Amino acid sequence: MEKKILLQVKNLQISWLFDKALIPIVYGVDFNLESGKVLGLVGESACGKSVTALSLLRLLAKELKIVNGEILFWEHNGGETIDITKLESRGKDIRKIRGGLVSMIFQEPMSSFSPLYTIGYQIMEVILLHSEISKKEAQERTIELLNKVGIADARNSFKSYPFEFSGGMRQRAMIAKAISCNPSLLIADEPTTALDVTIQAQILNLMRDMQHEFGTSIIFISHDLGVVGQMADEIAIMYMGKIIERGPTKEIFKNPNHPYTIKLLDAIPRLGNLEARRRLEPIRGSVPGLFNRPHGCTFNDRCDYFMSGICGASFPELKEISENHFVACYLYG
Ligand code: SF4
């Protein structure tokens, strides 16, 4: 079957404007996302995954600038290709894409709901903005969506304010808002991090159902490789603003190659390890600050395989080591 690319990110570079200087924080990120597939973006805090995601909708803070690269989005219905980097960040073209073709769900639902309006009103507002239906139809669609995401007594919950919902219910309502216009792409930034494991499992199931029902593509961002592994078809691991390993999920779990990926996998609790009373292996050290970026491979000060004279010279290229499996490390090739 022919693969349909929905999103192609090419050599994306983002810098932070600080004291009149541009400090690079995302260094030439490349990835593709096929229609109907889930891409997991994984890494520790401050590795650039959320900044990359926000740039896809031109939602970056004003001190953050896209300095190079392309974000190509294929609008399948109209057949048009849009380079999102060329759009005005406050213009009408990107506003048409936000919430319509591409939606985002955040870790903290209150960042997408105002405390002053009812949940139903705020979802209905998005529907009315992106489609030509009557207020009555938008209200019925909102109630249907609240029902779909498992909000009990959706007709009455429509009139509730965000503070009247529990954390799990707010997260569900945010998903209802995000999928209200059947987006082609849903960006989920740490959508389950603040939730307990039971609600986390329910939210993951819900997103999976939505993906199957509407064929939505998803970019699922998390620091937790275990959670991403349950959702993603393909995984990209980020470290200090670069993708250092990328490949199909099964392959990454079965055959991780980059020392950082291996360490991330070692840090996931597994049933076998618990039974054998094996300790979880933490990754030594921490991610260096922006102003202490190591020369060469940025993982070199934490890597057990550091090769003197090689790893500190320049950053290794991302190379394909098996079909669709890419690694940036001098141990390979
Ligand atoms: Fe470790 Fe060298 Fe590979 Fe970097 S390039 S991950 S320092 S072996």
pLDDT digits (tens, 9 = 90+) for 281-322: 778 888 888 888 899 999 999 999 999 999 999 999 999 999
Please indicate whether residue 112, judged by its CB atom, sits closer than 6 Å to ligand 1: no
pLDDT confidence of 328, banded at 50, 70, 90? very high
- Pick the residue whose CA is nearest to atom 7 on ligand 1: 300
Positive or negative, the Cα torsion across 45, 250, 257, 30? Answer: negative
Kindly tell me if the per-residue pLDDT of 280 is higher than 80. Answer: no
Q: Return the CATH number of the domain spanning residue range 1-101+185-333.
A: 3.40.50.300
Give yes or no for a contact between 40 and 236, defined as CB atoms under 8 angstroms apart: yes
Q: Between 53 and 111, whose confidence is greater?
A: 53
SS3 call for 35: coil
Model pLDDT, residue 136: 94
Residues 6+ apart with CB under 8 A from 208: 231
Q: What is the pLDDT confidence band of residue 10, given thresholds at 50, 70 and 90?
A: very high
Angle at 53 between CA 71 and CA 24, to 5 degrees: 80
Position 1 pLDDT exceeds 60 = no
Question: Once rounded to an integer, what is the mean pLDDT over residues 165-179?
Answer: 88
The CA distances from residue 59 to 7, 15, 104, 198, 320, in Å, are: 17, 14, 11, 31, 32
Percent of the chain with pLDDT over 90: 56
Q: Please report, for residues 58, 70, 168, 290, 298, the alpha-carbon distance to residue 54 in angstroms, rounded to integers and kept in the order given.
A: 6, 14, 23, 19, 23
Could you tell me which of 70, 80, 1 has the C-alpha nearest to residue 34? 1
Q: How close is the Cα of 332 to the center of ligand 1, in Å?
A: 10
Parse the chain into domains and list their residue ranges: 1-101+185-333, 115-182
Indicate which atom in ligand 1 lies nearest the CA of residue 297.
4
Q: Which residues of 262-289 are buried (b: 16+ CB within 10 A; e: fewer)?
A: bbbbeeeeeeeeeeeeeeeeebeeebee
Cα dihedral 294, 295, 296, 301 in deg (nearest 10): -30
Euclidean distance between CA atoms 70 and 31, whole angstroms: 11
Mean pLDDT over the full length of the chain: 89
Across 172-193, average pLDDT:
88
Q: Which atom of ligand 1 sits closest to the CA of residue 311?
A: 2
In the numeric block, which tokens belong to residue 198? 């039971």
Residue type, 306: F
At 265, which amino acid appears?
L
State the pLDDT at residue 278: 67
Cβ 256 under 6 angstroms from ligand 1? no
On whether the CB atoms of residues 66 and 12 are closer than 8 A, the answer is yes
| pTM for this entry | 0.89
Q: Residue 274 — pLDDT band, cuts 50, 70, 90?
A: low
Residue 328 Cα to ligand 1 middle (Å)? 8
- Identify the residue whose tokens are 């098996």: 322
- Is residue 220 predicted with pLDDT exceeding 90? yes
| pLDDT score, position 26 | 95
pLDDT tens per residue across span 80-92: 889 999 998 888 8
Q: What is the dihedral of CA 244, 246, 250, 253, to 10 degrees?
A: 0
Which residue lies with its CA nearest to atom 5 of ligand 1?
Answer: 329
Is 329 in contact with 315 (CB distance < 8 Å)? no
146 CA to centre of ligand 1 in angstroms: 48
Ligand 1 touching residue 74 (CB < 6 A): no
Confidence of residue 20 (pLDDT cuts 50, 70, 90): confident
CA of 174 to the centre of ligand 1 (A): 40
Q: Give the pLDDT band (50/70/90) at residue 239.
A: very high
Q: How far, in Å, from the CA of 229 to the mean position of ligand 1?
A: 24
Model confidence at 252, pLDDT cuts 50, 70, 90, reads very high
pLDDT at 78: 60
The reported pLDDT for the residue numbered 275 is: 61
pLDDT band at 227 (very low <50, low <70, confident <90, very high): confident
DSSP string of 176-218, one letter each residue: HHHHTT--SEEEEESTTTTS-HHHHHHHHHHHHHHHHHH--EE
pLDDT at 143 over 90: yes
Cβ of 298 closer than 6 Å to ligand 1, yes or no, is no
What are the tens digits of pLDDT across the range 74-121?
Answer: 876 667 889 999 998 888 889 888 878 899 888 777 777 899 999 999
Specify the length of the chain in residues: 333
**CA–CA separation, 329 vs 203, rounded Å?**
35
